[in-house]
Structure 1
Amino acid sequence: MKPSLTFILAAMVLSACTEQPEGDPILRAELGEDGAAQEIVPVPEPGFDTLEPEAEPVSACRLTSFEQVSLTHCIADPAEHRITTALAPSSGDDAGRFAGFARDTETDTVEFAMNGGMYGDDLKAIGYFVQDSDRLSELNRADGEGNFHMKPNGVFFGSDGTWRVLDSDTFFRTVGDRPQFGTQSGPMLVVEGELHPDFQENGPSRAIRNGVGVDAAGKAHFVISEEPISFGQFARFFRDRLETPNALYLDGNISSLWNPATGRMDSGRVGPLLVVEKK
């Protein structure tokens, strides 16, 4: 027996006066031409937001720790990224700063960037430096003071998605073709699976440091410490955790990272830059 129209309307009025459970949609009865209730249709409450929350930007860099020291570890994958070199601006209010470099760069294309080697007063590299296949500075094999001259030093370089780290003597002997990018720094952190011979296990020299290594799969690992770290600890992170057979120290104290995905832009004074771009 079908309910009467009067009964249905009375039930609807009673339902409208009853408070709906919090978070449940309001229910509305649709009446057919013969007066019978045909369907219960859920109606979203006014102002109910049905949009999915916006996803957080994905970053190639993550915070980690090693031997109780905090580090930021960024990965460049040749399947997803390209690596180029650049120079920070040498004049203006933001000379030697990522802020100055970013103003003239397509930010959307940058995955992350780090300072990429040691420089002189003019902010130019003191060692081998290639930008867009143009050699701006020759390989420096001279002896001298400071970290750069702690032999063996080395070169990080690459072309067409093949990236390598080699000590400078091996680079000089075996690399004949000019790469698309390259930067020389020193000392080497890891050489053919062994730590630099002059490193102590955990020596007294502590600084904010950054470096780069390439693993067996061809991925480049960029690391910057978030607190002072010794050479020995830093080198062991590349050898033991990242398993990079060769790794190169890039610099210390002025070490800086620009990571657009997280909004990080360090303000240290930089010169040569390594820029990881999205393909």
Structure 2
Amino acid sequence: MRAAAFALLWMAAPAAAVTCADVSYEGNSYTTCSVDAVTEDLRLFLRDDEGAVLGSFSAVDDFADEGTLVFAMNAGMYHDDRAPVGHYIENGIEEMRVIPNAGPGNFGLLPNGVFCLTDDAAQIYETLDYLDKTPECRDATQSGPMLVIDGDLHPRFLVDSTSRYLRNGVGTTQDGATAVFAISNNAVTFHEFGSFFRDFLKLPNALYFDGKVSRLYSTDLRRSDFGFQLGPMVGVVE
């Protein structure tokens, strides 16, 4: 599928819809899910009402008993106890502060960023920009590295990298009206994954969620990936 045709497909998606599709780009296979952030109930999930980590898509579906989970994805790196590594807010309550400094692993490969949700928008902020602007996020998850920053790839991504994993992340439109989530169906480099968001999806900002543990749930595609218990997750309830 050509990039321009796909862009028209998700930009023209009807309101109150989650549109998922399998696409190929530059020899790699991806699954994307486009979410209307204005009309959809897009939010983060980590713990149940008793404070226990949910950990799985089925647990999120059971927890969201006011509706049906139609889309979900892991949404940020986590420790062995599945607590978030970086900044985390859910329904206005902060569980973890912002981590602004460089550190080990992909999370600390600055610049990293924050995925911020309000009741009618989704935005990605580079972490220092997030601290400077202090947006009023209902939900927020910090992860890293940034994949695309104001139309540019992360400066540390190498075209000839040999580091390949299944990877997932999210990009947002400039106006924050649409969030497009993507997961690779084969192992890809950071450069390939970032290029997919920038050059194929044509999104100005995109954030890496994780690799190896990357998983997707989509009723549209009848897909529910299995694996290790997860930490933060993002999902849509209808």
TM-score with structure 2 setting the length: 0.85
1:179 to 98, 113, 137: 137
Q: For residue 206 of structure 2, what is the amino acid of its counterpart?
A: A
How far off is 1:268 after superposition?
Answer: 2.5
Please name the residue that 2:98 is paired with: 139
Determine whether 1:242 maps to 2:174. no
Distance in 2 (CA, whole Å) between partners of 1:207 and 1:224 is 11
1:127-166 superposed matches below 5 A: 127-166=86-125
* Structure 1 runs (4+) greater than 4 angstroms displaced: 88-92
1:224-235 superposed matches below 5 A: 224-235=183-194
Please name the residue that 1:203 is paired with: 161
2:219 to 260, 263, 268: 260
1:272 to 210, 232, 235: 232
Distance in 2 (CA, whole Å) between partners of 1:148 and 1:259 is 26
Please name the residue that 1:118 is paired with: 77
- 1:83 and 1:224, CA in 2 relative to 1: closer, same or farther beyond 3 A? same
Q: For residue 129 of structure 2, what is the amino acid of its counterpart?
A: T
Distance in 2 (CA, whole Å) between partners of 1:277 and 1:103 is 11
Contact 2:20 2:221 in 1 (8 A): no
Aligned residues: CA RMSD? 2.0
Contact 1:189 1:248 in 2 (8 A): yes
Determine whether 1:212 maps to 2:175. no
Larger Rg: 1
How far off is 1:162 after superposition?
Answer: 1.6
Q: For residue 250 of structure 1, what is the amino acid of its counterpart?
A: F
Structure 2 residue ranges without an equivalent (≥5):
1-16
TM-score with structure 1 setting the length: 0.73
Look up the SS of the partner of 2:147 in the other structure.
strand
Contact 1:88 1:100 in 2 (8 A): no
Q: For residue 200 of structure 2, what is the amino acid of its counterpart?
A: R
Distance in 2 (CA, whole Å) between partners of 1:240 and 1:185 is 22
Please name the residue that 1:102 is paired with: 61
Contact 2:167 2:184 in 1 (8 A): yes
Distance in 1 (CA, whole Å) between partners of 2:66 and 2:168 is 22
Distance in 2 (CA, whole Å) between partners of 1:215 and 1:91 is 33
Percent of paired sites with the same residue = 35
Higher relative contact order (CA 8 A, sep 6+): 2
Alignment coverage as a number of residue pairs: 218
Distance in 2 (CA, whole Å) between partners of 1:135 and 1:170 is 18
